[in-house]
Structure formats: structure tokens, C-alpha cells
Structure 1
Amino acid sequence: MDDENTTTPCIAIELSPKISEEALSWFIDRVKSDRHNHGSRMDVSRKETNAGNKLLIITASDLRLRVGAEIFGLNKLHSDGNMRNFSVSEQNEFVNYKDDNFITDCESLYIIKTELDSLRAADEAHVPGHPDIRLYPGKSILRKLTSSKLIANVLCLHDASKLDKLGARWYKDMSVLLQPIDEIRNYFGDSIAIYFTFLAYYTKALIPLVALTLLFTLVSDEWEELFNYCVFAVVNVVWATVFLEMWKRKSVEVAYEFGSFQKREWEDPRSGYHGPIGLNPITGKQEPSYPAWKRRSRICFVTFPCVAMCVSSAVWIMFYYFEWDSDFARRYNNDPAVSSKIIRNLPSVAYSCIVLVANMFYRILAQKLTDQENHRLESSYQNHLILKLVLTLRNLFIVQIIVSQTLESVFPYWQYHRRLSSKRVEKESSGVLSQAEADLKRDVYSGTFDDYLEMWLQFGYVVLFSSVFPMAAVWAFLNNVVEMKSDAFKLCTSFRRPFCFPTTNIGTWQFALEFIAYLGVVTNCALLFQSPTLRKWFYDAYPEASALDLLLLFFVVEHTLLLVRALASSWIPNVPERIQMKMASVKYKAQQALKRKRAASLKPNELEEKLFEWQRASSEDS
């Protein structure tokens, strides 16, 4: 491997100075050993950077990667046009199977990382050379060495030439809504590609709302007209429903093209999953086991009380802020002095700081609680973590958007130029930096949570309040245009290459968005019936009506819109017919292949008897 231009997908492990040579040799032997000896059969090379960092570079041959693709059930495009589980013995039946990049970079890194995570302690009582670091059967070796500070970093190395080509087609390209999704997926993996697919799809879906807003702005001078309220309330409900249902279909299409559709049941356990070693009843593989009742008990008696206490605290702080802000408004609003205006804003500043600090604390707590729940699948772990965070972060609307935009747009740009100047200085003194050394100086990518959170908060603004603030859709559209470029820029220039793993959809964020959409029905109806214009019209049209009659009308309209939303959701199928036909074709051909295999294994007289049985059964059925 060339230190300057990485062409082979590989994972670098930075070693801690305190790791013993005995422990290092033991770990390398486990990585190189085959599965019968509890190893992963990977290639390992020891290197040292210009800065003195000791590294292990983990790679795998093309044949080893293809075997891994079969072991982990990766889907590839078959010659019949369908996505099928790859098999080495039948690889000549897959499209482009002779290509060097048949196993993509992201799939290669996923296989290598998953194999490393699958290294489990067998009969070792402790890490060799470190008797104080105990091992238990089934414990992840890589995770234990990392938590014990014997391994400093584990990272996927960037490929400088491929990254430059991707950046030229991505954040440097002048097109606004077109994203090179296939190239993003091949380099960064499914989760990043699905996020940018969602971002582009959501931004395009905002165009009708933007057009309607601009049209009403040009032809109407007063947004508080009853007609405008009614139009935007209905449009919000219909738009949110159609968008979310169509996105479900789009995500299925994308997952099928990526080969991750309906793959969750075969997902391998995450590295943090621990328990006694047992056999998976579906795959027959050895893996840790953990009783479901223990996980449920932790959720009920530990997680739920902690989350409930945090949510209650967040609500109490919010109401206290409202009271504090009202008190300062009464005291200082009428005082023209500059100092009074500054003091007037102290509650808002203090609340913003409290929210940010509480957010940092709660994220750490949520992660620890989710770790203790010991979820087997990475997707399940992420969904439970997101659900905990969403419950309390709903109060961060304005603060979160302002802070995240600053950190995502301005800070990465400043870091990028600082890193460039640092590289120029080091090139003059010590030559060109190696890829591993350059990647170690990059920031760790924390995942797509903050990006999805920002989109969720923004979606809440558009759906909940755009009937009274219609420009929300316009600002959301402009923000997303900037977001696509800034997110692409920071991934290519500021962050380490994230680990890849198969992703089917946006996970729990779909539920969070649908919750906002349902809440939008109630909010828009409430805003509509709070309008003085509607109230005046109602009492003018029905002079004998009371406030109770207006309330009943509110419930009728609200439930009618909820019914319309439910009917629209049931009318639009989640899985496109094209994908249904492809999946049915794969299932049918698999059944036919199984029948042929069974028939081939029968002796001639047994086969003849079977044919007579099938013929008799067919005649009886007719």
C-alpha cells in the first residue's frame, strides 16, 4: 500500500505506547488466523508514520472479500436483473463479477470492520502481557483493547484520489439538487448515501410549498385573510402526508438498489453486544446471547425513569424560562436605556446556554443507557438512542438550528484552511504526509444524528407553523441547498472516513417525522380557529352560535383532516410494484432451484415415485 495514495480499502489501528509486544503479537495472530482458530484471516502490516505513530494496517485479498460478502449476505446485481445474495461458487452469474471493484470500497470496509468486531475472546483469562485486563468468553477483543487504552484509534483510511474525484462531482459541482448518490454510497456507505438521498428528496418536495408561498406573496398583501389560512392549513396536511408516503417508497427503491432491502434479519451483532456464547437459531453461527427479559427490565426500571426525569426537567426549565422572560419584559421593555435592553435579553441567553449544556449531558446519558440495554443489532441500538434524544430535544428548535448551522458551515471551513496551512509547513520540513497521518489529524465523524435532527426540527417549523408563517418553507428550501453543499464539504475535507454498515432506511426518524405530521393537523386547525377573521366570519354567519359550537366545528374539521391523512397513507403502498415483482421473482426462482436440487439428489426410482405422487395430487386438485 502506498502511504500517500491509498488504493486498497483498509482499516488503520493506532496503537497505544503502553501496549506490550506480547499483546500485540497475540492480537496480530488472531487477526491472521482462520475462523477455526477464532480469527478473521485478514492481512496485517505494521507501519510507523512520520510523527512516530505506530499503526496496524488491516487489509484483505479480493478472494477474502468475496468470501466475506457471501458470509455476511451482501446482495449484488444478478444477471437476471434482480438483487441476489452473493455466492462465490456462483459468482459468474453476477454482473461485472470480473471487475476489480466488484466488491465496492464501502462493502470492503464493512467486511473488514465486521470481521475485526467478530474477534471474540475464547479461553483467554486476560490480555497476554496485561494480567490486569481481564477477558471473558464472548467479549469483543477489539472493543476491550480500545476501552483499555491499548488501542488509541480505529479508522477507515481515506483514498485521496477517489475522494478528490468525488468532491469534484459533489460539493464543487454547481448543480443544486443533483447528488452523485452511487458514488457517495460506494465511498462512504449506505447511511451517508441514504441521508443525502433524503435531504435531496425533501428539498425537492419543498418546491410546491415555495411556489405557493411566492404566489400568495405576490397576489395578496395580507396573510391573515381567511382564505389564505384555510389553503395553507389544508396544503400542509396533504403535503406532509404525500411527502412521507412517497419517501417510504423512495427509500425502499434506494435500499433495494443498495442491496440492503429486507436484510435486517441477517444483520450481524454489533461489536458492543455481549453475553455468553451461543448458537444463533436462524444462521447457526456462534455469537453472544442475552435474554430479552433482561433488556426489557433495564428499559422499564432504569431507562424509562431516567428519561422521564430528564423530560420533566426540560419542561420545568422551559416554563421557568417563560415566567422569567415575562418578568424581565415587564421590568425593562419600557426603559430606553441600552443597559436595560441588554438585561432584557439575559433570560434568552441563559436559557440557550442551559439548553446546550443540558443537551451535551443528556446525549452522554442516553448513550450510556442504550449501551446498558445491550441491543444485539446496530440498527436497534441506533433507533433506541434516537428515540431517547428526540424526546428531550424537541425544545431546541431555534437554538439547535442556529448553533448547528454555525458549527456545520463556518467551523469546518475554518478547520479545512487551518489544516491546509499546517500541511504546507510540514511538507517543507518532513515531506509529504502519509494518508494515515493525515487522517489521524481529522475529526471523528459522529454520524448523521445531528443532520437528521436539524431536518426534523425544520420539518416541524414547516408543517406546524407555515400557515401563519408561510415563509418557513422558503427559508427551509434555501437552508437545505446550503446544507447539501456544507455537509458534503465537511465529509470530504474535515472528517475521518466513517465506518460503513448496511442501512435500509432512515430508521426511527421516519416515526418522528410522521408524529410531526399528525401533530401538524391539530396545530394548523388550532391556528385556523384562533384566527380573528374566522371567528368573525363564523359568528356573522351563525349569530346564535356559541363558543361550544365553534369548538365542535374545530373537532369535526380536525378529525376530517386526520381521516384524509389516514386514507392517503393507506392508499399509497409503501413498496413500489416494481420492487414487489422483483422480490417475488427472486423468491420463485429460489423455490424452483431448491426443487431441482432436491430432485437431483433423489435416486431414479424415488424420483419416478415422486412424479407419480405429484401427478396424483394434481389430478385430485382438478
Structure 2
Amino acid sequence: MSSPKQQDTISSIAEAMAPQSWSKVSCPCCVSSEVEPLVIIQLADNVESNTKEWIMAMISASHKSGGAHLLAHPGEDASWGRIVVAAPRCTLLRSTEELGLCKADKEGNMFLFSFHDRNNFINIDDMQKFLTLAERQYIVQHELESMRAVKDQRIPGIPGDKGILKSRQNIMQKLQKAGVIQDVFPLCDEKKLKALGKEWYLKKSLWGQPLDTINDYFGCSIAFYFSFLDFYTWALVPPAILGFLITFFLPGTPPTDEPKAENSTSGPGLLSADDDHLSVSSHMVQAAFSMVWSTVFMELWKRRSAALSYRWGTLTLTEHFQDPRPGFQGEVGINPVTGRREPLFPDWKRQMRVGLVSIPVVGLFLGLVVLGMVGFYYCESITASIHKTSGSIITATLSYLPSIIHIVYTNMLGNAYRTVALKLTEWENHREESAFQTNHTTKVLVFTFFNNFAVLFHIAIFKQDLHLLRKRLSSLLILSQVVNQFTEVVVPFVVDRFYSSSQKELKEDDPAADHMQAEGSLPPFPGLFLEYIELLVQFGYLSLFSCVYPLTAVLLLINNITEIRGDAFKICRLFRKPFSPPEASIGVWQAAFEVLAFFSVMTNCWLLFLAPRIKAYTQDVGLNPSTVLVFFIMVEHVLIVVKMILAFVIPDEPDWVQIKRQQIEYRTMKALTGQTVKHFQTTELPRS
């Protein structure tokens, strides 16, 4: 940890910079004696001073001139390899309207912000109160990425074709490809970050998280993730209590004489594959509870998400025509929608790339999943035969070795596939950032579902071996517990203790410049993609298969309690502060969780049909298997209807949020009507 003298903040950096060195603003209302540094642009070491001056001029230029209408500061001197960027008041306000953010009016109600009606909102003269730090920094990033050349020109100090800038070409993208700009990242505020850490991962209480403070500092997307993680973790308490009671306290039934499958083995303790201690009622209670719980959980989360989006001003985010994302490539032409010159890429070429390359590569990886599953069954049969011959405790323990090896294999395959999926999506060359994220997420979700659940579904549907299914599920959960505890607790502590702290040491001669140097040395935040994948797999284990292993929720609850603190510690201490766009929910991940909740009805009904105790019970009353299967199919359809009724009965938004949304829509409609009428009144030609 650095000393108190070394704990620098954004405000101290601002004080260290000469106010007269900031670029000038033309708008009188934006003139201020204090400027808040928000973003750092890291330049290459060999960038000439005239190139840096040109970049600063474009950053401070107006939108009509292709600039970002921001404030730029050269730092220590013209040769310093960084540019510090701030935002004037008008740029922040106009971007707030463009993004479709809601802000509090003078009566405290959240309404869609309008620059024309700005005086009716509170804190309009104090941007640090009007917008969160994350919003201000994202607006700067948004404006920087929107810079486009208005004519063909050459960038000073860059020789050859790298320095040629064509009309309507993205300036930031061009500078990054030319190697002039190496990185762009938001400045952190050590004072706010330290205060956030004390009430987040350092607090003694396990309940609750400072979600509003997280949103203020890190932004909506990160705040929504931690809100969902917190909500999901404490929603695990009821199924954990039920699973604990079923496993250790509810009465079971005496063993049956039904033989086990040849490849089923019994293990010690909680990993026992013996299914006989669960009674018929225990199976039914656990299965029915999992189906209802998954639906109620998702519906209640939607209500919580709607309330948070209203509180954070993202309830009615604007859907607008998107500019090309920075990584988009193509031949410069006239966009038929906007009429502007920009890179164009035919849709048929993208579809050819998807159909002829992306889909076959995804199919190849799915084939590798099947190959691993075949190897798992082969090793499982060998260990089962060895255990059947010896029957010792050692062979019983070794019988879990195939599951462990296969789990390691699937994890390695998953890591390799995620890298390939990202490269494939980049090569497909999607124009909009939303299309890129949707295609990338879809690829990963398809593989993740198949990679993590294919073996479990095959055991349940085709092999119909609940003993093996329980052993496999318990191995997955306990191994993932060990790995997660190591990665979430041990690794972050070691990295922070022996690596990150040395990178954060600041000098005494120029703390402002050294603070920026320390931030730039930290690795970029990898995003929340893998974190959501982990929660999705957890949710699948619990909702789809927990009736064969009731302690699933118990193990997940223990894991997630440390997961909250571990994730908070990592994002605060081990990574550079990320940009965070405004979000109204967890997006596509919510749909993925709902799909798993729907499938939970079918899997739980099928597992009930295969349960040995239920089979024995139906045989005792003289029912044949076909009749029982028809009965369970009918029950499945009834439960699906029940889930649909529950989803309908529980509104996605609380009543007060629905009223607020209608108020926002009504006020927006009235404001647009008023502006339209005024526009026609001022532009109407005089009659003769």
C-alpha cells in the first residue's frame, strides 16, 4: 500500500496542472476556473510534438469541424507521452440528452433530460453532482470515438500511408491503427475508491452492497452485475435450507433391491452415489421447489432491475442509429441511411463468413466436446470395473478421477473457444457495437451450454443413471468450489501483495504525473463476460439437476458469499478503472437465465420419472412405465402453465415504476409537441 502522501486524487491532479494550459472553450457558460481531468490518452514513445498538438486541436475542435468539443491538456510538457482530457459543461449536457438519460427535476422526480429544458433540473450548474463520475468519463470516451475527419488531410508527423486521413474516417481508430495512440483509460479517484472499498469488500457485515456508490464510481453495467450477484446469492438461502434439511433431517426410505448400473460407483461421505436415502416425497419436494424457485427468482429480479434502472436514470435509454464501431473495416463509400462517407461492408460478405467459417468452427468445437464426453465414459467404465473387482475405499475415491479429468478438459476447451469466438466475431466485421456483442455472446452461450451440460443431459436422458449423474454433479460443484476459492481469495491477495502494490508506488517529486503512470501500469479490466458465464452455469446446475443432489444450493451459497467480496476486491485493487456505458438491465444474460428456468421443468420431471424410489412406488401400485411416462408429461405441461401464470401474475415492474415510466413518456410527448409547434411557428412563411 502507498503512503498517505502518495494517495493522490483527481482533484490533486487538477491542481497540479496549470489552468492556462487547458484548451479554450468558446461557450461562455463552459468557462470555469476549475477543470476536472477525466480521461488519459496514452501516446507512443516516438510521437512527435506536432502530432500531439494536432491531436489536442482535434479533441478541442467543434463537432462541425470533426472534433470532440472537449478540453485537452498536454501534461508536464509538449513531449510528455500523455494527453489529459476533460469535458466542458455544454458537451456533458448535450451528451446526456443524446444518450437518453433521466435526471431529477427540481421536485425530485426522474425525467428524460432535455438540454432545451435544462434549467428545470437540479444541480444543473454542478456537473459533479448532476452526472456521476462514470457517466462523465463515458461521455468523454463517447465523444472521442465520435471524431471524424471532415476532409482528406495528412496527420502531422506521421509519414507514409499511415498519416493519410480520409474524409469521414474515424480519427481515434486511425490513430490507434497507426500506433500513435496506445491506450485510452479513465482516471481513478483514490479518495472515492478507498471510501468505496471500506463500505464494500472491507465491511464486516455480509448483507447488502453500496450499489449507488458503485454506480456513481464504476457505472451502471458493473453496478447491475453486483446487484444481480447479491440478489442471486441471497436467493440461494431458501433452496440451501431445503437441501440441507432433505439431506440430513428428512426421513428416507429403506434401500431397494434394484441393482445399480455397471458404471455406477459409491463414494464416501457427501459424494456418495447411493440414491436410496432420498424418499419419494424428498425428490418431489426438491424438484417442485426448484421449478417454482427459478421462476419466482427471475420475476423478482426483473422488478428489482426496473427499480434500479429508474433510480440510476437509465429506465428509458434512447435507441438511436449507431455509428460504426472502432474495429469496423471496409471500403469508404456513401452510407445510404446517413448520406455520409464512412467504411462500408456488404452484408452478403458477412453472412458468407458466418456460414462458411464461423458456424463450421463452432461445430468443430462442439465435436471436441462430444469427443471428451466419449473419453469420459470410457474412463468411467474402466474405473467402475476396477472398483467392482476390489471394492476398496481407494478405488472408490479414484472412481471420481474421470470426472475430474473431464472437468479440467472442458475448462481448457472453454478457455480456448472463448479466444476463438472473439477472433471469429471480429473477423465477421459487424458494423454496430451491439451487433458485435450479440453475435459474440451467442457464440459463447451456445458452446457454454453444450460444454457444461451435455454430459449431464446425456447421463440423465440416454444412460438414465441417476447414480452417475449425482457423482458427476457433485464432482463439478466441489472441484469448482476449490478452484473458485483459490482464484477469488488466494490469487488476488498474492497479486495485490507482491505485484500490484509495487506498481502503485508513487514518487514524491511529481505525484500527479506519477499517479497517471501508476494507473497506466495496471492491467485493463477484463470485463464481466466470464463472471456472468460462471453464474449462468451455477444457475443451470441448481435449476436443472439439483433434485438429484440437494446440497447444490448449499455449496453455491458458500461460494458466492466469497465471490462478492473477491470480485469487489479485484475490480477495486487489481485492474484499471474501466469505462462503463449506461445500461437498463443485465441485457442478454437475463434471457439466458430465463431459458434455463424454462428447461428446468422438463429436466426435473424427467429426473423424477427416473428416480428409483418413484419407480419402485409405481411398480408397487401396478402402473406400467408407459402410463407413468404419460402422467409425467402431463405434469410437465401443467407445471409449464404454472410457470407462465407465475410470470404473468408477478409484473416485471413495480406499480410505482410503471407510473413513473408513464409520467416520463407523457412529459416527453408534451415537450416534443411543444417544440414542434414552436418550430412551425418560427419557420412559417408570412402570408401575402
How many percent identity over aligned positions? 32
Q: What is the aligned counterpart of 1:479 among 559, 563, 577? A: 559
TM-aligned CA deviation for residue 559 of structure 1: 1.9
Tell me: CA distance 1:548–1:126, structure 2 relative to 1, closer, same or farther (3 Å): farther
Q: What is the aligned counterpart of 1:143 among 163, 166, 173? A: 173
The answer to whether the 8 Å contact 2:244/2:550 transfers is no
Map 1:236-247 → 2, pairs under 5 A: 236-247=290-301
Letter in 1 for 2:39: I
Letter in 2 for 1:418: F
Q: What is the aligned counterpart of 1:556 among 634, 638, 642? A: 634
Letter in 1 for 2:627: D
Map 1:392-407 → 2, pairs under 5 A: 392-394=447-449, 395-396=451-452, 402-407=482-487
Q: Which residue of 2 aligns with 1:131?
A: 160
Q: TM-score, normalised by structure 1?
A: 0.86
Tell me: CA distance 1:16–1:87, structure 2 relative to 1, closer, same or farther (3 Å): same
Q: What is the aligned counterpart of 2:8 among 4, 23, 33? A: 4
Aligned counterparts of 1:108 and 1:120: Cα–Cα separation in 2? 21
Q: What is the aligned counterpart of 1:412 among 492, 503, 506? A: 492
What number of residue pairs does the alignment pair up?
599
- Within the alignment, does 1:75 sit opposite 2:102 as a pair? yes
Tell me: CA distance 1:452–1:599, structure 2 relative to 1, closer, same or farther (3 Å): closer
Tell me: CA distance 1:393–1:420, structure 2 relative to 1, closer, same or farther (3 Å): closer
Deviations 1:508-545 (A, max 9, x none): 2122212221221122112211112111111212x2x3
Q: What is the aligned counterpart of 1:577 among 655, 664, 667? A: 655
TM-aligned CA deviation for residue 67 of structure 1: 3.0
Letter in 1 for 2:43: L
- Within the alignment, does 1:303 sit opposite 2:381 as a pair? no
Q: Which residue of 2 aligns with 1:324?
A: 379
The answer to whether the 8 Å contact 2:76/2:513 transfers is no
Aligned counterparts of 2:216 and 2:145: Cα–Cα separation in 1? 21
Aligned counterparts of 1:23 and 1:167: Cα–Cα separation in 2? 40
Aligned counterparts of 1:338 and 1:234: Cα–Cα separation in 2? 35
Deviations 1:332-381 (A, max 9, x none): 88679999999987755654554344333222221122223444443443
Task: Name the SS for the 2:578 alignment partner.
Answer: coil
Listed as ranges, the gaps of 5+ residues in structure 2 are 1-5, 12-35, 253-276, 453-475
TM-aligned CA deviation for residue 549 of structure 1: 1.5
TM-aligned CA deviation for residue 11 of structure 1: 1.2
- Within the alignment, does 1:183 sit opposite 2:210 as a pair? no
The answer to whether the 8 Å contact 1:39/1:119 transfers is yes
- Within the alignment, does 1:360 sit opposite 2:390 as a pair? no
Using the TM superposition, name which of 409-418 and 571-580 deviates more.
571-580
Q: What is the aligned counterpart of 2:55 among 20, 27, 30? A: 27
Letter in 1 for 2:313: G
Map 1:424-503 → 2, pairs under 5 A: 434-503=514-583
Q: Which residue of 2 aligns with 1:610?
A: none
Aligned counterparts of 1:57 and 1:578: Cα–Cα separation in 2? 43
The answer to whether the 8 Å contact 1:267/1:377 transfers is no
Task: Name the SS for the 2:665 alignment partner.
Answer: helix
Aligned counterparts of 1:137 and 1:504: Cα–Cα separation in 2? 35
Letter in 2 for 1:567: I
Aligned counterparts of 1:294 and 1:261: Cα–Cα separation in 2? 37
TM-aligned CA deviation for residue 257 of structure 1: 2.2
Using the TM superposition, name which of 584-593 and 342-351 deviates more.
342-351
Tell me: CA distance 1:428–1:117, structure 2 relative to 1, closer, same or farther (3 Å): closer
- Within the alignment, does 1:13 sit opposite 2:67 as a pair? no
- Within the alignment, does 1:209 sit opposite 2:244 as a pair? no
Aligned counterparts of 1:127 and 1:351: Cα–Cα separation in 2? 54
Q: Which residue of 1 aligns with 2:71?
A: 43
The answer to whether the 8 Å contact 1:177/1:481 transfers is no
TM-aligned CA deviation for residue 331 of structure 1: 5.3
Listed as ranges, the gaps of 5+ residues in structure 1 are 607-622
Using the TM superposition, name which of 570-579 and 334-343 deviates more.
334-343
Q: TM-score, normalised by structure 2?
A: 0.78
Map 1:224-303 → 2, pairs under 5 A: 224-263=278-317, 265-266=319-320, 268-269=322-323, 270-274=325-329, 276=332, 295-303=350-358
Q: Which residue of 1 aligns with 2:113?
A: 86
TM-aligned CA deviation for residue 157 of structure 1: 1.4
Aligned counterparts of 2:395 and 2:642: Cα–Cα separation in 1? 51
Using the TM superposition, name which of 19-28 and 459-468 deviates more.
19-28
Aligned counterparts of 2:440 and 2:168: Cα–Cα separation in 1? 24
- Within the alignment, does 1:381 sit opposite 2:436 as a pair? yes
Aligned counterparts of 2:244 and 2:401: Cα–Cα separation in 1? 36
The answer to whether the 8 Å contact 1:126/1:132 transfers is no
The answer to whether the 8 Å contact 1:75/1:86 transfers is yes
Letter in 2 for 1:77: A
TM-aligned CA deviation for residue 486 of structure 1: 1.0
The answer to whether the 8 Å contact 2:99/2:317 transfers is no
Q: Which residue of 2 aligns with 1:521?
A: 601
